[in-house]
A and B are shown apart, each in its own frame.
Chain A
């Protein structure tokens, strides 16, 4: 099959994916989104003969627009722009999880520092302030006091891009020094790992130590439902254990749509790129079936 990869930077994750695709004999069209133009009816990108395009854009804004345009031309793309739209924004992400009755940390959004201060005081200390768009644990603030809250809010309101004036305030979940990342394809887990750190941020990008993790029934159910809640796809579902290690009770704090998997591939016995490409082959075949079906009924 012919697979397009949308990218602007080839990370280790993309190299793993490219290696697996080529090893299986698939033709790969690398599409550097920085070099292309996207019109209302067509694009300069070479997408006409592609069976499937995989969005691996590092930049969230490019990811959202490029997938939206490709989708409008009828090019099959994963993840879909709808999934990207929900996952890229923490507020939309939280809403989707809550609407699907998935346990997720209590969250409030406020648009002025005064209203944000009220939300913070209502949660009590510590609580957490996050940018609605962002990743790798950047610009996340654990707020321990009113003084800290006032300073952070003033900085965000004065110095920030308009998105920083959407104050996303969340309860602080006292997790047991680790959280859990599950990689899933349309709700079916590929592999999972814990990310541990003495710091309250345990992201692998922040240096959290990773270790393979076996999802129990409750976690499997949440991963499946969280995936469905955001529209499915190749996703990174992040969970925290509530009530201590091995409690079997979880809260899902977010779902990521351009998920990195190099750390998981290293931590797990599972051949993660192989599983991802298995899924891509299925998605490409499904897209071809749909196209053939449409031609028959047209």
Chain B
């Protein structure tokens, strides 16, 4: 059984290694891969799926 404070485990889509995500991770959140440093996007949480995040685009910002 998992709790709200348990880290979430996921497969790094680039290296295939298992990585830990924060317990409060959100769909749409960007995680820096602890293996490669690549930005990964959380695509879903059940099951946990990560993909390489989109590249920065020119109109992004505030």
Q: Are B27 and A59 neighbours in the complex by a CB distance under 8 Å?
A: no
- Name the interface residues of B19-37: CB closer than 8 Å to any CB of A: 24, 26-30
Q: Are B58 and A134 neighbours in the complex by a CB distance under 8 Å?
A: yes
Please measure, in the bound complex, the distance between the C-alpha atom of A236 and the C-alpha atom of B62, giving whole angstroms: 9
Which residues from A are CB-within-8-Å of B46?
none
Which residues from B are CB-within-8-Å of A32?
27-28
Q: Are A135 and B62 neighbours in the complex by a CB distance under 8 Å?
A: yes
Which residues from B are CB-within-8-Å of A61?
59
Minimum CB distance partner of A259 in chain B: B62
Q: Are A18 and B30 neighbours in the complex by a CB distance under 8 Å?
A: no
Q: Place the interface of chain A in its size category.
A: 20 to 34
Assess whether A168 is interfacial by the CB under 8 Å rule.
no
Q: Say how far A237's CB is from chain B's closest CB, in angstroms.
A: 12
Q: Say how far B17's CB is from chain A's closest CB, in angstroms.
A: 23
Q: Per-residue 0/1 for A121-132: is the Cβ within 8 Å of any B Cβ (1 yes, 0 no)?
A: 000000000010
Q: Say how far B21's CB is from chain A's closest CB, in angstroms.
A: 13
**Which of A18, A58, A61, A131 has the most C-beta atoms of chain B within 10 angstroms of its own C-beta?**
A58
Please measure, in the bound complex, the distance between the C-alpha atom of A7 and the C-alpha atom of B26, giving whole angstroms: 12
* Given known A7-B28, A9-B30, A30-B28, contact A260–B59 (CB-CB < 8 A): no
Q: Interface SS of chain B: helix, strand, loop or mixed?
A: loop
Assess whether B61 is interfacial by the CB under 8 Å rule.
yes
Q: Are A30 and B59 neighbours in the complex by a CB distance under 8 Å?
A: no
Which residues from B are CB-within-8-Å of A11?
30
Q: Per-residue 0/1 for B5-47: is the Cβ within 8 Å of any A Cβ (1 yes, 0 no)?
A: 0000000000000000000101111100000000001100000
Please measure, in the bound complex, the distance between the C-alpha atom of A60 and the C-alpha atom of B30, giving whole angstroms: 19
**Which of B41, B42, B58 has the most C-beta atoms of chain A within 10 angstroms of its own C-beta?**
B58
Q: Are A138 and B61 neighbours in the complex by a CB distance under 8 Å?
A: yes
Pick from B26, B41, B57, B60: contact of A18, CB under 8 Å: B26
Assess whether A161 is interfacial by the CB under 8 Å rule.
yes
Minimum CB distance partner of B41 in chain A: A9
Q: Are A260 and B28 neighbours in the complex by a CB distance under 8 Å?
A: no
Which residues from B are CB-within-8-Å of A131?
58
Pick from A15, A19, A59, A133: contact of B29, CB under 8 Å: A15
Assess whether A8 is interfacial by the CB under 8 Å rule.
yes
Q: Say how far B31's CB is from chain A's closest CB, in angstroms.
A: 10
Which residues from B are CB-within-8-Å of A58?
60-61
Please measure, in the bound complex, the distance between the C-alpha atom of A279 and the C-alpha atom of B10, giving whole angstroms: 37
Assess whether A258 is interfacial by the CB under 8 Å rule.
yes
Please measure, in the bound complex, the distance between the C-alpha atom of A161 and the C-alpha atom of B24, giving whole angstroms: 39
Pick from B28, B58, B60: contact of A10, CB under 8 Å: B28
Please measure, in the bound complex, the distance between the C-alpha atom of A138 and the C-alpha atom of B57, giving whole angstroms: 11
23 A–B contacts, CB within 8 A, in A order: A9-B30, A9-B41, A9-B53, A10-B27, A10-B29, A10-B42, A11-B30, A14-B26, A15-B29, A30-B26, A30-B27, A30-B28, A32-B28, A58-B61, A59-B60, A60-B59, A60-B60, A131-B58, A133-B59, A134-B61, A161-B58, A258-B61, A259-B62
Beyond the given pairs A10-B30, A205-B61, 17 more chain A to chain B contacts, judged by CB atoms under 8 angstroms and listed by A's residue number, are: A9-B28, A9-B30, A9-B41, A9-B53, A10-B26, A14-B28, A15-B24, A15-B29, A59-B60, A60-B59, A60-B60, A61-B59, A133-B59, A136-B60, A256-B62, A257-B62, A258-B61
